[in-house]
Amino acid sequence: MREPVKIPKELIEKLKPFGPRFIKVSKPILGDKKSGKGAIEKDWPNHPYEADDPELVKWLEGGGNYGFILGRGLYALDLDDPELQTIFESEVDTLIIQSGSEIGRHYPIRSDSTDNAVILDEPDENKKRKNLGNLQVRNKYVVGPGSNHYTGGTYKILRNCPIAWVDKEKLFEIFGEGLVWTGQARSSRLSQKETSNLGFEIPIAQIIDMSKLRQISDQEWQGSHPIHGSDSGTNFCVNKVKNCWHCFRCNSGGGPLSWLAVKNKLIRCDQAQKAILRGKLFQDTLDIAEKLGFKKQEMSKEEKQKLQKTCGENLENFIFEQISDEAFLIYNKTSGETQEASRVDNFIPWPKMDKLIKPVTKIAPFNYNNLWFAVKQYLKDHLEIIDVGYTIMTAWIFVTWVVDLFNTVPYLFFFGPHNSGKTWALKILSAVVFRPFRTGHTSMSSIFRVCAAWHPTLILDETEDYMKHNRSAIINILNSGYTRGFPAVRVEEREEGFAIRTFDCFGFKALAGTEEFVPTLKSRCITFNMSKNTGDYPDEIDYSRGQSLREQLLMLRFQAMANKIKFEKPPSIFKSRLRELLTPLLMVAPESEREEIIRYGEELTKITQEEERSSDDAIIFRVINKIIEENPQITKISIREIAGELNMNLPLGETYSHVKVGRTCARLGFQTTRIGSGRGIRWTKMVLERLKLRFGSVKSVAISF
């Protein structure tokens, strides 16, 4: 049995300035190639130990190895090639750790590099380049000296001296073209992105003086940076085939457009990074390119007509969403990869979309449950409603992002007097829902057009105003909008006469108003009765927090549409309308939240039944009262007479049966009695007065629409 591994004091001292650095590495087993090297804890980059941490000490005493992590200014160069080792050691005085294999050497250094790099051999006859070593920076660790190797050897400190500073240019001086930064590959990707949507090509060799550079492979030229120069004379590289450039000093690069921007001093070399050319900067660079004679060929009329404006589509293999005036974010449903582009198939971004809808600009990873509760907390931090309301609203926000999954959608309706927080509630929703479209002063015909073109989450405040001035139009949108495939039909007046147009207004809608809706619409809404906020809430909505939730929700949308997240229909608990309202919400709610939604549904069933009953009660009482007022001398009234009066103006199919009238009268407190061959009621002044008190405040029985 070997002695337990001890971390050398000299190493502990050298690493002290970098903070806790040590991690557990697996126990070596003699002859087992895979043993003795791997990190034991999954989350090792985030949980390094101090050298004397009892847990780490215990691990070492049990025969385990250890490692130290890189990053934050600490890098390590790994070289296996003896010749290169000699070259490097003659140039740089730094700590040397010999691998347990006794071949490889690790050189911890401090550097200004930000990327990992590889050291490659000259290309062989097949143009393959052998890997001679690595420069490791991010998410890497080194097995520490004192650790044991599966061959029986031990990792050793070969030269004990301080960790040396070696900057990028020095590294390049030592290894020359053998050194390939991982960032270089990124420059080539950036180049593709830059030019893929321009509609014209700018060969990079036409805008860089290649005669000043030296050819180092069949694709690459290298030399001194044409703008900021170079100490080594080799910090700039151009790849003609990949049509990209890279600067080793700044670890920057890209395609011809970003080079034009650097060359013309629109940006500094080190600013040539991802997504730098946007908006005006992009336009200015394009102007320079056009002055140089690179031009887009005019699109033919047919080509132009084929282009369709959209703010996002869900296609078979891709789903994309507009993220700015000029760009989409495209998600590949198979690979899960995303990229930006200004055109997808025949689709181009909607020009001033961001004037009406604040787009999400990127996606962010998420954990479903965490995201759910983060959204819920966001609501709680901004708004006071009944407890279950937070769950319902959270679910509703989630379903807006996966609207494609449903054929009918519930609306939200915030109902209450002025200053009861209705508008506030809508504003909060607009900070987190999918494609929020708050109408404000938008004209009715624009609302139709935007709904049809974008399928936004329509957010409509002061519905009573619309009911007054645009009643039929708004009812048209709302009535056709909750079921997929029932477009609104509209007659439009044009110069050449009237035209009939259809608008597909399907989509989620959140409404607020001081007056109730017609019953058909009311039954499509989940209604929140609003009263004044009493809690201590912020004056302003935290839009940036909302935006970061939307970034995660957009990722959720992408994954759900790619079937990477599956939502299942819950067993049907509720009947007809209520089932339509609540099924989507139950589908997206985490297991632990469903119970609350179900309880809410049960409560709603009860309330609806009670409401229906009490409105029947009121109607029937009114008829009885009318009969009594007209004939104060009678003491008995037949059910037949009440029903006759009740049903006089009601259409077939909606009339009250005698049984129902009889039952209602009994519930109202009238004594039932026989009148001739039929049934009737006997009324007393006391019952009548009591009922007047109960229903007296209601002026008219029919709802006011």
Query: What is the contact surface with Zn ion in residues (CB under 5 A)?
Result: 247, 249-250, 269
Give min distance, CB of 227 to Zn ion, in A: 7
3-state secondary structure of 641: helix
> Which of 249, 490 has the CB closer to Zn ion?
249
Q: How far is the CB of 171 from Zn ion (least distance, A)?
A: 15
Q: Which of 634, 644, 647 is nearest to 681 (CA)?
A: 634
| Minimum CB–partner distance for residue 537 and Zn ion (Å) | 49
DSSP sequence for 95-139: -EEE-TTSS-EEEEEE-S--S-EEEEPPP-TTS---EEEEEE-TT
Instruction: Scan for tokens 């994954």, then name that residue.
Output: 559
Q: Which is nearer to Zn ion, 110 or 249 (CB)?
A: 249
Nearer to Zn ion, 60 or 269 (CB): 269
Q: How far is the CB of 70 from Zn ion (least distance, A)?
A: 24
Q: Among residues 266 and 371, whose Cβ is nearest to Zn ion?
A: 266
Token couple for 659 = 């049984």
Contacts of 202 (CB under 8 A, 6+ apart): 195, 255, 256, 257, 260, 289, 294
Minimum distance, C-beta of residue 271 to Zn ion, in the bound complex (Å): 10
In order of 200, 297, 379, 514, the CA distances from 279 in angstroms are 19, 21, 34, 43
- Count of C-beta atoms within a 10 Å radius of residue 83: 9
The residue (of 225 and 557) whose beta carbon lies closer to Zn ion is 225
- Quick one: 19 or 229, whose CB is closer to Zn ion? 229
Three-state SS at 24? strand
Instruction: Rank residues 246 and 490 by Cβ distance to Zn ion and give the closer one.
Output: 246
- ∠ Cα 334 326 508 (to 5°): 65
Task: Name the DSSP letter for residue 154.
Answer: B
Work out how close the CB of 262 gets to Zn ion at its nearest, in angstroms, rounded to a whole number.
Answer: 8
Minimum CB separation of residue 247 from Zn ion in Å reads 3
Shortest distance in whole angstroms from residue 253 CB to Zn ion: 9
* Number of Cβ atoms within 10 Å of the Cβ of 216: 16
Nearer to Zn ion, 56 or 277 (CB): 277
Quick one: which of 393, 344, 337, 342 has its CA closest to 363?
337
How far apart, in Å, are the Cα atoms of 124 and each of 121, 133, 175, 176, 217?
Answer: 8, 17, 18, 17, 11
Tell me, rounded to whole angstroms, the distance of Cα 299 from its chain centroid.
34
Residue 193 Cβ vs Zn ion, minimum distance, rounded to whole Å: 20
Nearer to Zn ion, 235 or 638 (CB): 235
Classified as helix, coil or strand, 308 is strand
